[in-house]
Amino acid sequence: MAHRISKQKKEIASAGVKDLFTKTRELEDHIFQLRMQAKTGQLPSTAMMMLARKELARVKTAITAKAASAKRA
């Protein structure tokens, strides 16, 4: 699992800001779908919601970091 997370971090770090905003929107939609599945009792594992929220936080952090570095330059 640690290998998968480091791979995700590399993908996020190498992505452009527009790609990250697109990924943010996709993750927000995915989290919404997971929330609906949880409410209707169709979600197989609640851990999926936690993982999706963590990935969304990683993407938003990367966007903030790239914006800050662009501001400095």
Write the pLDDT tens digit of every residue in 4-56: 667 788 888 888 899 999 999 999 999 999 999 999 999 999 999 999 999 99
DSSP label of 16: -
**Do 62 and 19 meet the contact criterion of CB atoms below 8 Å apart?**
no
User: What pLDDT score does 64 carry?
Assistant: 94
Write the pLDDT tens digit of every residue in 42-68: 999 999 999 999 999 999 999 999 988
